[in-house]
Amino acid sequence: MSKSPRVHTAEFKATVALAACKGDRTLSEIAAQYQVHVKLVQGWKKQMLEGAATVFSKTDRPVSSKESEAKQAELFEQIGRLKMELEWLKKKSAAFQ
């Protein structure tokens, strides 16, 4: 029987990639320690090095939950308003037909 593939968390991937970036051990040693394939370690290290610049950029800052809730409430309000306008327009256009 085949095993189902393991799903690794972002924290685990970051830990393995940081260990690979340090360079004090070979990728094979790191892969053996964390029980993953060497290709995964290589890929995670590459992703970390390519995405390192976004960690310090201001445009990719995480949105706080209060900001996202306020934005969501505003959008729901706008949806409700647009639905009301659409119903009103449908009712008025039916009178002209």
43-68 pLDDT, tens digit each = 999 999 998 888 777 765 666 788 88
pLDDT at 62: 63
Do 4 and 19 have their domain in common?
Answer: yes
Q: Which two tokens stand for residue 34?
A: 């964390």
Do 46 and 4 have their domain in common?
Answer: yes
pLDDT at 76: 96
Q: Are 8 and 35 in contact (CB under 8 A)?
A: no
Do 53 and 73 have their domain in common?
Answer: no
The separation between the first and the last C-alpha atoms of the chain, rounded to the nearest angstrom, is 67
Domain count, the chain: 2
CATH of the domain at 32: 1.10.10
Alpha-carbon gap, residue 61 to 27, rounded angstroms: 31
Which H or E run contains 45?
helix 38-55
State which residues form the domain around 34.
1-57
Q: Which two tokens stand for residue 86?
A: 């659409």
Instruction: Flag whether pLDDT at 1 surpasses 60.
Output: no
Q: 0.75 exceeded by the pTM?
A: no
6-25 pLDDT, tens digit each = 899 999 999 999 999 999 99
Do 68 and 38 have their domain in common?
Answer: no
Q: Which two tokens stand for residue 39?
A: 């290709």
User: What does DSSP assign to residue 62?
Assistant: P
Alpha-carbon gap, residue 8 to 3, rounded angstroms: 15
